[in-house]
Structures are given as structure tokens and as C-alpha cells.
Structure 1
């Protein structure tokens, strides 16, 4: 392998790291380990299809539709780096119903579900990249620009969007050049287009394309030196830089836009400690080690090559191969492995928070705001080839106001003269705090050259200017500035835990009420033949008590660190459990009405009461709620999310309800059912019931409705842990209201006043009162 490809081996290391991390996790795949096979992605179409057929056959020969060895059916295939490669094998994988997860750049061609129904792209769509690049152009006042794009659908779509943004901001296009595609380092390619760069008056070039097109430009730059030009490029440039050994490298000082990615905990340590001896079956790893250090690890079969020193690691790599800095594709591979590990039958429905704190969703519904890192290519000294982060762009704010650049750390190309003077202007309040119009809030920390002690405050964030500050520092979503405004600190991850006092109190209350409900159920079972238990259908009383115990226990799902299972079960258990409870109350109320109406012989009401018609209310009403919940889970189910702006210095791990419409449909149906129960109970409150059941049902449903009517405004005005606590408290309060109002009077009669627990007691009292009068 040639040197410029060795950077790609980080993809394999990211894959190994994700596999081992998942296998160590006792919760994600309990009692299971992930098996895998790794194949080299060849740029030759014929070899690519042959390799896939060999893999599907399970042997060393191509035997379509036949497996040479017994092996498990693959859960999914992770592919990349180009869209062409994924498309080539996509048609074949579709025949075998094997999902394909790609880690390459987003390509609209692969989004065609008619041709690729089982293909999923980890990279988000570059819908805001054109705006981000235009923002950078405006920041430096560059209005005369040349554009180089790949000659394909992806390049054409980007070109149209970029030109539209440039026209709106009065930026002129000096020339537009479509790039030929090169698939190999040694294949023939037309590079004469580079001659147009020398005669162009534009000193700023925008470069966008697939990997093959970028290789073409990289090869051409070795023969056509383009010093004095600034290149603005897309993310994949870090895998194709070839001639970085030149002091006057054509792309030194260029800018690269890549999707924002967090630091994967433990990955850098893994790269420092990993060596080929841990993966003896991986020949390429041994070759990489030999290429980097001219030695081999213990037990290697590399002939007479000397053995490496014990402290040899990738951290001491040559500077021309930067394996320690994670690339976009490695980050997407890490997320792809975790996506497949969730084993959802429809990968599009998977949503989770990765270890870097970023929300991952294959349908992009949870990622409405695009965030790009802006990196500067540095090649001094020669061969360094580093990408240094110099800024960020966040979409969702007005153009040119979502950009933050630290000009002091930028390395400029040799001979470049169009550098705008460092003008620092005070951002508007809208720039500092985008406000409610933006779907995801973000915070920037600025230090400006303005008089001391001047402060700008918005919501719970403070932007303070320091005297003689010379550069801007950017804090990411998961960081906040310290009190001295000198550097960024990581935010504290928080959730409603069992260990804290509020979580402990709510958990104890839930367990206590559920135990109390179980005790009441025991009392009713023990006295099941007494008059007060048999009144109004004792089977309904049993069902109501069991459902109330379930409602109390379901509140425990809201406490503790959220995960995918608890997020889904929270709302489903809440909705179905309370529906059963409220529909049982409705059935008991209808029983009271039917019992009063059925006093005459031969009446239809008596037939309904004897046939047990009220009992059918529970399954019918519950089935409707189950259907609503099934639609919710099938369209946009709840998922794990983070809230980084509710409280300063904290990131709350929360359960996003997914479809807010579905949530309010479930809650609205439950409210309608409770309101109907209250109405029927209220109309029947004065019926001459022996044990006054109708009045107790009226009080219980009134309290239930009052709790949830109060819940809505309080819930929406709360943040972080308080929001979860409000929901838990509402569940406990409404359940306790039903338990207390309906069953407390009956338990009093059963346990304290057994003399009243008969049908004769009330009649005797009425007879004595009549005789006394």
C-alpha cells in the first residue's frame, strides 16, 4: 500500500475499538458478542463485486446463492468511503436483504429508497454547507471566487445551492470547473484543468467533490504549484493529501469544513496502546507497523526485520501520517457499529446518544441544526500535514452570524495577499443568543477588544468582555466558560438519579404506594364475600387495584439514567396503565347506573347488568390506547436526548418524546376518558346507592382531572430534572387520588366498622329512623 492510504487504517482501528467496547457493555448486548469480517474495498468494480460474492458464499470461491460454510446471517454491512462503492454493491446486497450502513460522505444518490431501500447513511446531509462556506467568504470579504466541483449529481446539487447563496450576498464566480474522477493513484487522468488556475484572477477557490475528484486535484497540484491561493474544501480532504512533503505545498493554509464530532472517550488511549500483536490475523496492521517503524512486534512473521521496542506506539508516529486525530469516517464507523449493535429490525428507527454526547439518528429528524468544524491545513514544517480547528459554524441563525473564527491561529498560504485586516466588531445580541426561533440553542463565548467591565447578559448565559483581549475562544455545546472567561470547562452530565434526595423520595413514594395498593388488594381478597366488596362488581375492584399498583411502579422508569428501553417504556407504560385504571373507573360508574335502572323485572338494563356488559369497557378503551401507542412507536418513537441549555454548566440526559403530536394524542385520549368517567359519575352521584359508590367515583375522577390539568402548565415551565420530577409527581398524585377516594372508605368499613359491612345494616337504620319519626 502507498503511504497516502495508511491514514485510512484508522477506520479499522475505530471499528475494533467500537466492537470491543460494545462487547464489554453488559447492557447493550447481554450474553452476546459481535462477530465480524473485514474486507479491503477495492477501487476496481469487478474485484469489488467478486469480493462481495465470496463473502456471501462464505468461502474462497464465488458460488452465488450457496453457502460453502455454516455461518450466521450477517446483521448488516458497513461500507464506504465513496458513494460509488456503496452503490456498486448495494444492488447485490438488496437481493439478500442485507442492510448496508455507509460511513462515507452523504450522497443524494444513495437516498433513493426505490433503488436502495436497505441502505442507510451515517453522515448527515450537507444542506447547510453552502451557507457555511459563504459565511466564511463574507467574514474575510472575499467576493471573487473560483469553484471546483466533482462532475456528478452530488457536485451539481452543491453547485446550485452555493451559487444561489453567493448571488444573494453579491459574491461573484470567477470560473466554474468540473473535475474528472480518478479511482487509483496510478490511473490516467486529465489534469489540464489546473492550467486555468494560473491564469485566473481569483485567489480563493472552493473545492467540493467525491474522493476520486479530490485525488485528481491532489495529483495535479504536484505538477501545477498553486501558491498564493486559498482553498476552501469539504470534509474528506484529510484522506487524500499526498504531496505534503513540499515546503510550498499547494494546499497549505486551506480551510476544511467537516461535521462537528465529539471526542470518543477512551479512543486516544486505545490508539496509544494498540499494536499488531493484539490482532495477529490482521496482516495489514503488521504492514502498517513495518511501514511506520521499520520493525515488527513479537511473534510477527516479517522475516529478518528487527523487533520493536516495548514503548513503540502510534503516538510516536512519523508526522506525515496523523493517525491519532480522528477523521470524519472513523467517527461515522464508530457510530455505525453502535447503530448495528442496537439490532433494530428497521435501522432507520434507531436513535441514541453516543459516548461523545452526540445524538445519532439515521432519519436525521433529531438533527435539525447543522454544526461544522472549520479546520486549517498546516504544513510547516514540511510533512506535518495537520488539520487545526480554527472555528465553527452553526446553522439556524442568520447568514454570517452563525460563524465563529479565531484568526490568530490561522496559517495562511505563502504569497497570499487578500487577508482582510483583523476587524473585530461587537456581535449583535441575536448573534450571541439565537433565541427561540432556532430549534437547538447553542452558546458562543467571545472576548472582544472593547472597554473593560462591559457585560452582555441574555437568559442564564453571560458574555463578558475582558480588557485587551486579542482573540476569540469558542466553547462547544458540551462546554461552558469559567468565571474568568479564560477557557472552557466541560459541562456536568446530570439526570434525576436514585441517589439524590429528590429521586430517593419519589422512588420511596412509588414503592410505598404500590405496597399499600397490594395491601388493599389483599384485604379485598380476604373479605371477598362481604357485601361492600361484592357491591359494584368485585372483579372490577381487583382490576383497578392491579392497574393502580402498575401505575405507581411505572413512575420508577422516569428515575435513573435514561436508556433506549426506559425511554420507550416510560410513555407506553404510563399511557396503557392509566387507561386501564380510568376505564375501570368508568366501568364501575356504569355498573352503578345500570344497577339502579335495572330495579324493574324484565327490563333491558337488567340484561346488560347480568351479562357483564360494563366489563367490555376496559378492553375496548385499552385497545384504542394500545393502537395509539403502536402508531407512536411505528412513526417517531421516544429516544435518548441531551439538554445542554436548561441550566448553566450542566447537560441533562433526557428522554425526548419523539412525536409530540403522538404524546398529546395519548394524553388527550386519557384525559377524554377521565372526563367522561367524571361526567357519568357526577350525574349518578345522587342515586340511592347502598354504599355511596357514585359519590366516591365522582371525587376520584375530579381529583384525577385536576392533577393532570395542573400538570400541563407546570410541566412546560419546568427544565431539566424538575420536568421529570413534575411528571413523576403527577403520576403518583393522580394514582393516589384514585386509590384514596375509592378504596379508603371501603377499607374503613371493612377493618374499623364491620357492623356496617352488610346490606341489612342500612335497612335497619332506615327502619329505626322511620319508626322514630
Structure 2
């Protein structure tokens, strides 16, 4: 089977010779001929073939040629270094050039040991990059490697491992295929068993047909089920396999160096026929083997094979035997023939004056070396670098897929193309829809050591394991990862916050205690309602200002207190809505001054009640303090002190507008920073001091036997006020954001409502519902029964 598969090499050779002989410009007046020798991949036969070729017809006598008319100038051959080197040792004696057409081998490029050996194949300098690009495209980060046991395998492993490390791809398993006849079946089985049990699903195989030949026999018994094979066209597995075993290679991905299309080759193959060339014994053997028939006449009774029909053509042969498209190795043969022809052309051009006749050509063999160095084996044109391969053409590889369909022909389908030297993967193209994966895979195979970490997680390396093996750890609070297999987590900006999945940053919503939201609307409505209620109470007191109960409770202070409470309800609206610099400066100071006026009015009321009782005693000089002047002076003084405190506050460290990004996750709270907390608590503490003084005085005067005594109501109002603001302090400290603002607004409203209810509700009840009790006669009768006089000024 191996000889049959390689027969295309000879056909490519023959096609190139025919083309050159028909070209009137390349070698005019010269006809190329050739001699074909088969070494059956044996180095001993290679040496023997070289001696036969050198000796000519007759007996093989080293260093002696019996055919003086022989005009051989070069040798094209050597599918592998193991065959080229023995051949070259004999040819070196005569300085005859040898052009090897096998895969590029660094051993053959050693010009010190092998000065007269040339290679028509280019060096695969970027093959490892192309393979790694394939790994990255499909996300294969955990792959196995099977390498040939030679310098090519060592160099490839060094290059591909370095490229894999740069791109985060790891070697799951590495196996070397030895090249020796002592390699036993059990060792092969152990090698394949290690590959089968490995966790890698994708196996990359590097080597040529000759270096990997020991791998085939065992693979027929131990197919690599559950593995996808990726290799190069240098390894022609169909050479050692049969139609039945080809199924083991179904879905294999093959990298083949891109080669220009050779026009006319397919037509040439169709024209080849042993009937036209009866002297070609190789073609006869191939024809009978390929078509399973006999070209010669059968002997009587011989029914082994039928006679070959005359209409048979090579186009009828399956691709597993002969492909109608020129293979990579056949193209190397084709190029090698042209390399020699170009070199001969250069000699004829430069030395035409020295050559008088064609008979001098046998002496030209040693002159070919200079020109062979200067011929590019791919383009077949003269190269000024003259042997310097530093300026090689850009390498391009076709990506092929081996399709196997039982009962039909096997085919290689081109599914992609890659030019590794182009940056950023621009040269990689592949059509996944055209790929037929192995039957063990229902979809694109996955070959990873660890499942990829989804966004929201980061990779955490496992101790003493490759970087491809890791655990997925959730991102900590405040951080996100927005890509797969993130190495670390990113912190969101100040105006953003992580999503619940921690895979992206979301813009924070700007919030504040708005009028439109339910809480803000409730507080606003409450403040407005009680503001109108307070104004209504003030209207009732003004309308009934001449009634005894209004006059008895010092109507001037009552008016002042009601106006102050109205302003208290209104000042709570400064805390609701989008804060501005102006509202931040005004709301706390306005609240402090207005509430100080309310508490000062209550204090003045309390002191008036106490003084009114004391002033009823004969000879007491306190009566002069019962007038409105003294009361309003007290209120003004208290307010003036609070205004001084607020002035110092605004002049040193005033409140300011700020964005709170930490209080409520996912939100930016627009709020007012109080600036100086000390100044804020001083203003609040001053009001507390006044309230405590009012509460104390009212509490002590609550049982005075005066019919006009409202000390009980004042006591309750201050008790409510103090309770509210004592509860406010810890609550205010423990809340943040707009809840803190709501707490303060609630405290303002509650304390104001408490004062309004405790002081004015009983009076309004009497004024509006019990007018019969709001007369001077009733009050005097109560006063007489109490043994007291009504002497309190109005």
C-alpha cells in the first residue's frame, strides 16, 4: 500500500520532465531523461541503488562506470533523512548533487556533513504558530502531543511549547514514537493506553510517514476513541491503513502547506495508460494493483483476475489509492525537477561559450551546486541571497478535514486557511460548518483541564498544577469580572456598582428624599396639613381674642407660638426635594432658629404662669415683669443666641452638598453634609437646654391653685418634645442616606404636632365646642370657689 500511495511522486516527476522537454525556452535543444530506482524505504537498498546508478549497465563496480555515454547530473530522491544520508555518502565522492523532496529536515541542512544535499521543501518555521492559533480558536487549552523521535520532533516541541505558554495553553501529555525495529507491540499498546486515559480530548501529532510508521500497527488494534487527531500532511496515515481502518481517522484535522495549483496535472493523470506505455513496468504494476485486474493475457484455467478493460483511467481510482490533486510531497518532487532544470539553464546561459557540444554536460554536475543554492525551490527563480534562507516567503497552510463515509470514497475537504505571520490572528480563517468531527463528538470537541470561569468569577490557580488547571472563585464585594476566564476582578468606578451576578458594572441611580416618592409625599402632605391646621388655630384665637380663655392664656405669646409652629411645619419642607447648596445652608439654621422661637415662646409662657401666681401676693414687685415687653425680650434674646451659634457655624464649617456613594448599595444619595457636627449638636443642644428649662418650670408650676394655670399643658408639650428629640439622636446616628433626612423631618413634625396638640387642643375645645364655659362669670365663680383672684394680665 505504501508503494502505491507514493506512486504519485513518480507521476509528478514524469509530468515535470515532460513539461520541461516541451518548454522551448528553459532547456532548448536539450531533452531531459531519467532513471527510476526503488529502495523500498531501506537504507541498504538506497546505497545499492546509488552504486547501480553510478556504475551504469552491467555489473555494479564502485568507482567505475561502464556507461560512458551516461549524462546523469543530479539525483532527486530521499523521502526521509534516513534514506537521503546513506545515498549522499556515496554521491559525495563524485560531488553529485542530491535534491531531497521529503519534509524539511534540519539534519540535511548541515552543509559541513552533507555539503551536496539540497531540500525542495521549505522549513516549517511557523507551523507551531498555526497550530496554536487553531487551539485558541476552538478553546483547546489542554492538548496532548505525539512527536517523532528525531531532531525535527525536538525542535517542534520546543517551539510549540513556547508558543503555547505565551497563549495560556498547556501540554496534557507528551509521547515520543521511537524509530527502531525493536519497538515491541506491548510498548506501543502502553503508549496508546496512556493517550486514551489522558484527560485531553485533542491530540496533536507531528512527524512524517517514515518517522511515525511504528505507530500504525497498534492503532489498528487500539483506535484512539474519544480523541480528535490534528496532524500535518507529512504524515500520510492512509499509507499504512486500509479502507477498514480509515474510519479510525475520521474527522482528523490536517495542516498542509499551501501550494500553488499545477495546471495540467489532472489531465496528465487521465492520459496515463499502460497500453500507451507498455515498457513502464511500474505503471503496469500500479494499474493491476489499483484495478485488481490483469493486463497480460491469462493462461488457460487462470480465473484469478479478469482482464483490464481498455477504458479504465486513473480518474476511476479512489483517492485512498491515487489522488487526482497533486499532494505536498509530489509538489516537492515537481519543484525539485524544476530546480535542477533551472540550474542547468543558468549554466547554459553563463557558460555557453565554454560548452561546444552536449557531450560536455556530464562534467557539469559539480558546477550545479552554486546555482542550486541560488534557486528558490518554491518559485523556481533566481534568488540574490544565494542560499541564504533568511528571506523566505510568507508561509500559508491549508486546513484540511479527513471525511470518511462507509461505502464511499474518503476525501480531504479544505475547511480553512492560516497565514501565521499576519498579526492578531488576521490570517486565520476556518469554516466550522464544513468540518466533520469524529463520531464520538456530537459537536465541536472541548479539551480543557478546567471548565472556563464565567463572568463574575476569577481564576484561582491550583497549587503545583499547570496554569490551565484552576478553580473558579466568585469576585469579592464591589468587584466584577466581565470576561470569561478572568485573571482578576475589576473594581467598579465610584458612580457604578456591581450587578447581582458581578459580571458588569451598573450606573448608580441618583436618589434623595423626593416630593414624588411615597415617603416624601406623605411627609409633605403632613407638613402642609398641620401648617394649615396651625394657621386655622391662629385664626380661631384671633377671632376669639376677646374671650376670657384667650386673654387668660396671654394671647400675645399664643400668637407668637402659633406663628412659630407654622414656620416649623414649613421649614420641614426644606429637607424634602433635591438638595441644593442654598437649601443645605438654610435648612438646619432655619430649623434651629424657628424652633428656638417656639421653645422660647413656651419658656416665656411658663415663666409668665409662675410670675402671675407670685404676683398675686400683696406687696410683690414681680407684677412689672408680667407685661408683654418682658416676654418678647426673652424670646428675642433666646433667638439672638441661637442666631449667633448658627452664624459661627456658617462662618467656620458650613453645611455643603455631597454625593454619598456608600450608604445605599446601587445608589448615589444626594444629601447635605452638616459640615461641623459639633456646631450642629450645639444648636440642637441649645434648643434642648431651653426645652429642659421650660419643662422644669412648667413641671414645678403644674399644681399651682390658679384657674388660669396652663402649666400642665406646657409640661406635657415639653415632655413630648424632649422624648421625640432624645429618640432622634440615636436614630439619626444609625441611619444613612435619605432615611436620615426622613428621620429628622419626622422628628420636626412630631415635636411640632406634640406642642400644638398639648397646648392648644384643650383651648380650642372650649372655644369651639364649650362656649358656655368661656365666659367671665364662669371663670369668676371658679376663681371664688378656689379662693383666688383673676389678676393675670392679658
TM-score normalised per structure 2? 0.49
2-side partners of 1:113 and 1:97: how far apart? 13
Is 2:77–2:84's contact at 8 Å kept on the other side of the alignment? yes
CA drift at 1:361? 9.2
Choose from 4, 11, 15 the match for 2:9: 11
Is 1:182–1:212's contact at 8 Å kept on the other side of the alignment? no
Q: Deviations over 1:263-297 (max 9, x none)?
A: 11100001112112333332221111111223345
CA drift at 1:192? 2.9
Residue 371, structure 1, aligned to residue 400, structure 2: no
3-state SS of the aligned residue for 1:233? Answer: strand
Task: Give matches, 1:281-430, under 5 Å.
Answer: 281-297=279-295, 306-318=306-318, 320-342=320-342, 343=344, 344=346, 345=368, 346=370, 347-351=372-376, 364=389, 367-381=392-406, 384-398=409-423, 400-416=425-441, 419=444
1:223/1:279 Cα in 2 relative to 1: closer, same or farther (>3 Å)?
A: same
Q: RMSD of aligned C-alpha atoms?
A: 3.2
Choose from 193, 196, 199 the match for 2:194: 196
1:100/1:159 Cα in 2 relative to 1: closer, same or farther (>3 Å)?
A: same
CA drift at 1:327? 1.1
1-side partners of 2:2 and 2:407: how far apart? 15
Is 1:150–1:180's contact at 8 Å kept on the other side of the alignment? yes
3-state SS of the aligned residue for 2:76? Answer: strand
1:34/1:103 Cα in 2 relative to 1: closer, same or farther (>3 Å)?
A: same
Is 2:257–2:398's contact at 8 Å kept on the other side of the alignment? yes
1:21/1:248 Cα in 2 relative to 1: closer, same or farther (>3 Å)?
A: closer
TM-score normalised per structure 1? 0.51
Q: Deviations over 1:467-517 (max 9, x none)?
A: xxxxxxxxxxxxxxxxxxxxxxxxxxxxxxxxxxxxxxxxxxxxxxxxxxx
3-state SS of the aligned residue for 1:159? Answer: helix
1:94/1:300 Cα in 2 relative to 1: closer, same or farther (>3 Å)?
A: farther
CA drift at 1:9? 0.3
Is 1:244–1:379's contact at 8 Å kept on the other side of the alignment? no
Task: Give matches, 1:81-230, under 5 Å.
Answer: 81-181=79-179, 190-230=188-228
1:183/1:376 Cα in 2 relative to 1: closer, same or farther (>3 Å)?
A: farther
1:241/1:182 Cα in 2 relative to 1: closer, same or farther (>3 Å)?
A: farther
Is 2:201–2:445's contact at 8 Å kept on the other side of the alignment? no
1-side partners of 2:13 and 2:162: how far apart? 39
3-state SS of the aligned residue for 1:236? Answer: coil
Is 1:218–1:241's contact at 8 Å kept on the other side of the alignment? no
3-state SS of the aligned residue for 1:280? Answer: coil
CA drift at 1:404? 0.6
2-side partners of 1:186 and 1:194: how far apart? 13
3-state SS of the aligned residue for 1:30? Answer: coil
1-side partners of 2:183 and 2:50: how far apart? 23
CA drift at 1:399? 5.1
Q: Deviations over 1:511-570 (max 9, x none)?
A: xxxxxxxxxxxxxxxxxxxxxxxxxxxxxxxxxxxxxxxxxxxxxxxxxxxxxxxxxxxx
17-26 or 59-68, larger mean C-alpha shift: 59-68
CA drift at 1:351? 4.2
Task: Give matches, 1:367-766, under 5 Å.
Answer: 367-381=392-406, 384-398=409-423, 400-416=425-441, 419=444
Choose from 252, 269, 272 the match for 1:254: 252
Larger radius of gyration: 2
> In the alignment, what sits opposite 1:489?
none
Structure 2 residue runs of 5 or longer lacking an equivalent are: 347-367, 447-794
1:301/1:239 Cα in 2 relative to 1: closer, same or farther (>3 Å)?
A: farther
2-side partners of 1:123 and 1:295: how far apart? 36
1:290/1:373 Cα in 2 relative to 1: closer, same or farther (>3 Å)?
A: same
Count of matched residue positions in the alignment of Structure 1 and Structure 2: 418
Kindly report structure 1 stretches of 4+ aligned residues shifted beyond 6 Å: 183-189, 298-304, 358-362
2-side partners of 1:418 and 1:173: how far apart? 23
Structure 1 residue runs of 5 or longer lacking an equivalent are: 422-773
1-side partners of 2:278 and 2:424: how far apart? 52
2-side partners of 1:186 and 1:283: how far apart? 36
2-side partners of 1:403 and 1:81: how far apart? 30
CA drift at 1:369? 0.8
3-state SS of the aligned residue for 1:213? Answer: coil
1-side partners of 2:233 and 2:390: how far apart? 22
Is 2:400–2:412's contact at 8 Å kept on the other side of the alignment? yes
Is 1:247–1:382's contact at 8 Å kept on the other side of the alignment? no
1-side partners of 2:240 and 2:33: how far apart? 35
CA drift at 1:366? 5.4
1-side partners of 2:241 and 2:336: how far apart? 31
